Amino acid sequence: MGMTITEKIFAAHCGKKRVVPGELVNAKLDLVMCHDVTTPPAVEMLEKRGMDRVWDPDRVVVTPDHFVPAKDILSAELHRSLDRWVKRHHIRHYYPLGRHGVCHAILPEKGHILPGEIIVGGDSHTCTYGAFGAFSAGIGSTDLAAALYAGELWFRVPETMKFTLNGAPPEGVYSKDIILEIIRRIGVDGARYMAMEYDGSTLSHLSMEARMTITNMAIEAGAKSGIIPADNVTEAYIRERRHDRPKYEVYHSDPDAKYVAHHTIDVAAMEPMVAFPNLPSNAHYIGDVRSDIGIDQAYIGSCTNGRIEDLRIAAAILKGRKVKARTMVVPATTAIWKQASDEGLFDIFYDAECVISTPTCGACLGGHMGVLAADEVCISTTNRNFVGRMGSPKAKVYLASPATVAASAIEGRIVDPRPYLTKRAAAE
């Protein structure tokens, strides 16, 4: 019996020829991601035990992103703690305020993610990096402390669920729609502690940014990780961001690898999706959505859909129009902020009367900048719409692609983005 990509990566990182799902292994780590919320508690654990060290400062990447700029005294103290720890251990891959960004966007952007690696981070959406053919998973502060100290962790080798994506995405359908359709089919616990592996002809139509949207939301299906095999698109993305010709191993699943389940998605037949409150799995085709669902807020950003590709999609729809609902645009990194400004996207957002923010996770988790009041309705490009996720537990959050969010912002209600795309094409 052959092995999956995930099983091969684990075998290579624990010195074995073969591993099987369910096996407990101790694996060496290639990279650890740290941010301002879960890292200070991990550091405090190590300090209290006289274990204040970092096994390899060059394999740690740090950025404050959840509450930036600091929203109160507590968040300011978290940032100060992070800053002092970075300086004490000479961690050079540090992106402080002014060079900061949402962690799952800035690490790939800066060339830190490579195929075949094992990457962990103190955030559940660390699974994003699986878009590069790596095993990547979120961990809590206790495991983060162990990872920083030892450079290795124990894992239970996950089973793998396979998804074959076929066909070119039709107009108005994006990677966000694809992952919402998948979660709709299997549920928020349908891939619990599994690796979600992707193949199929659709991948050739997806940029690295689009692929990261799909793997980002593996955790919303309960998965341990999401993984897409590295290919020419992956290698081109890495070459553009790395100048040192890094060595890495590209793994592919064996033809006889064992999967716990195999799902096939006809992407070419899809239409835009909207996930209703209060679960990402409560998704519906836009054609089945009532035309009278009004919104108070539209949010374009986050580690799921705050990259330059997402901002361009939204700007193309918003150009020459005004929003009827308050609309927040949050570029995922400082570099994306600058690029969006240079490309004139900010002029479009400004003319449309949107709010443009510095990179932050704040509104996504209901902690900072864009928090919802009771009974307010938001349509968002973020990844979660649980009760209380973006503010009041009485608020309602709908999830959709940047195109659907932008079109809905214009009309003040949830609408199909495709008429706006058709109008744009006709104008061009």
Domains and CATH numbers, the chain: 5-265 (3.30.499.10), 275-427 (3.30.499.10)
Q: Which tokens in the block code for residue 408?
A: 């809905």
Task: Report how far apart, in Å, the C-alpha atoms of 129 and of each of 155, 183, 221, 266, 399 are.
Answer: 18, 19, 16, 25, 21
- What was the pLDDT predicted at 182? 98
Report the pLDDT value the prediction gives residue 3, as an integer from 0 to 100: 96
Taking 90 as the threshold, does the pLDDT of residue 4 lie above it? yes
Question: Which of 148-152, 188-192, 324-328, 361-365 comes out lowest in average pLDDT?
Answer: 361-365
Average pLDDT over residues 340-348: 97
Q: Are 173 and 271 in contact (CB under 8 A)?
A: yes
d(CA 426, CA 407): 17
| Model pLDDT, residue 367 | 86
Contact (CB, 8 A) for 338 and 312? no
Residue 369 confidence (pLDDT): 87
pLDDT at 423 over 80: no
- Residue 164: the pLDDT is 98
Q: Reply yes or no on whether the pLDDT at 425 is more than 60.
A: no
Residue 133: the pLDDT is 98
pLDDT on residue 154? 96
pLDDT tens-place string over residues 55-79: 999 999 999 999 999 999 999 999 9
- The pTM score is 0.95
pLDDT, residue 205, reads 97
Cα radius of gyration rounded to whole Å, the chain:
21
The pLDDT assigned to 428 comes to 58
Question: Cβ atoms within 10 A of the Cβ of 89, count?
Answer: 16
Share of the chain above pLDDT 70, in %: 99
Within 10 angstroms of residue 257's Cβ, the number of other Cβ atoms is 18
The residue type of 30 is D
Q: What is the mean pLDDT of residues 207-232?
A: 97
pLDDT tens digit sequence for 308-323: 999 999 999 999 999 9
| DSSP 8-state symbol, 97 | T
Length, in residues, of the chain: 428
The pLDDT-based confidence of 426 (bands split at 50, 70, 90) is: low
pLDDT at 246: 84
The 10s digit of each residue's pLDDT in 100-113 is: 999 999 999 999 99
The confidence score (pLDDT) of residue 242 equals: 87
Residue 31, helix vs strand vs coil:
strand
Q: Dihedrals φ, ψ of 284, to 5°?
A: -140, 150
pLDDT band at 422 (very low <50, low <70, confident <90, very high): confident
Say what the pLDDT of residue 427 is.
59
DSSP-based three-state secondary structure for 123:
coil
Inter-helix orientation angle 39-48/141-150, to 10°: 60
* Section 2-24 average pLDDT: 97
DSSP 132: G
- The pairing of beta strand 118-121 with beta strand 60-62: unpaired
Sign of CA dihedral 285, 218, 246, 102: positive
H or E segment and range at residue 329: strand 326-330
Q: What is the mean pLDDT of the segment spanning 5-17?
A: 97
Residue 304 Cα distances to 65, 86, 105, 310, 327, angstroms: 14, 27, 9, 9, 17
Segment 122-131 shows an average pLDDT of: 97
pLDDT tens digits, residue range 293-306? 999 999 999 999 99
For the cut 90, the answer to whether the pLDDT of residue 362 exceeds it is no
Q: What is the dihedral of CA 173, 328, 96, 67, to 10 degrees?
A: -110
Residue 419 pLDDT: 95
> What does the pLDDT read at residue 366?
86
The pLDDT assigned to 243 comes to: 80
Using alpha carbons, select from 172, 381, 181, 398 the residue that is nearest to residue 281.
181
When pLDDT is averaged across residues 406-426 and rounded to a whole number, the result is 89
At CA 180, angle to CA 174 and CA 186, rounded to 5? 140
Mean pLDDT (the chain, rounded): 96
Residue type for position 64: P
DSSP bridge partners of 67: none
Distance CA 304, CA 302 (A): 5
Average pLDDT over residues 414-425: 85
